[in-house]
Structure 1
């Protein structure tokens, strides 16, 4: 998998995955967020000979080898939402996009081709703007095959919090790093 990470610009100089930028968001009463950090792996540049389909194949192979099953390709909804029964990973296949993470008062994050993002269960996310060719591959841990989609809503909040604490932590992040290293 080292070669796959290298092709995506996600290989560190030491030979493992690049270290992610970590962000933790507070519960705002509408979006629970998580005590676990959101992980943004910045690509150092995708091999320029790779087209979007080849980038997708690389991400699919990398994610699957590390226990994160690729699920769909597309974008992110333009309203604040989260998932209470699974963690979610994105690989950026093309273009750029700006998402707001953590709810209405969260942080704006720009994703570019080759970047990977891991959202712990409960983390709010919303599409703000993007290039016309922005496309993501989403993946979920092998033991978390169901997906719920919850809006920012105080009525559902407490039941969601109870579900979020039961979501297992996968042994590896989607790039093959030790999840405990980032989520301890």
Structure 2
């Protein structure tokens, strides 16, 4: 499995995360049979919660109080990651995108069967921010705890190994998972 790391500067009021890269896991989970269930099982096994099934909003938004994982259970889509000046990202069933707090994202287009399983580390809930980031938003983003486990690869995954070693990462300490 290939995992790409993407960094984004602030873009037209979308703060993005100044310290943590977006992680894109290509064909991370076999979704050939019961794709959404398989993704949910993997995320739960690694302590991620607040799981939901839907798509991705068609407008720019970000979360200032949570990291968010998006597992593509079915179909394909083009997402714009990083706000208006960001990068178009083609995703297909089996891919996983891990968005650090503050990262702008939206759906540009998708197949009719596009389905996402999303979730968050323990104790984190997604607020949906659409307006330009304030200083309070930036402070909240900087204080979001790092997850103890990567949603796909557990203790040795890049949400642990890469994020924990990122300069300026939220305290450098992972949160407790129960």
Match of 2:127 among 142, 148, 152: 148
Structure with bigger gyration radius: 1
Structure 2 runs not aligned, ≥5 long: 166-178
Which blocks of at least 5 consecutive residues in structure 1 are unaligned?
1-17
Q: In the alignment, what sits opposite 1:42?
A: 26
Residue 40 of structure 1 aligns to a residue whose secondary structure is strand
After TM superposition, what 4+ stretches of structure 1 lie above 6 angstroms from structure 2? none
Would you tell me which structure has more helix in proportion to its own residues? 1
Q: How much has 1:70 moved relative to structure 2?
A: 4.6
Partner of 1:179 in structure 2? 159
Segment of structure 1 superposing worse, 91-100 or 23-32: 23-32
Alignment of 1:18-37 (within 5 A): 18-28=1-11, 30-34=13-17, 35-37=19-21
Q: Mark the CA change 1:159 to 1:47 in structure 2 (over 3 Å): closer, same or farther.
A: closer
Task: Give the deviation of 1:114 after TM superposition.
Answer: 0.5
Aligned residue pair count? 160
1:15-41: CA deviations, max 9, x gaps?
xxx341110100135011012000010
Conserved? CA contact 1:29–1:157, under 8 Å: no
Normalised TM-score (structure 2) = 0.84
Matched residue of 1:150: which SS? Answer: coil
Partner in structure 2 of residue 5 of structure 1? none
For 1:127-146, list aligned pairs within 5 A: 127-144=107-124, 146=125
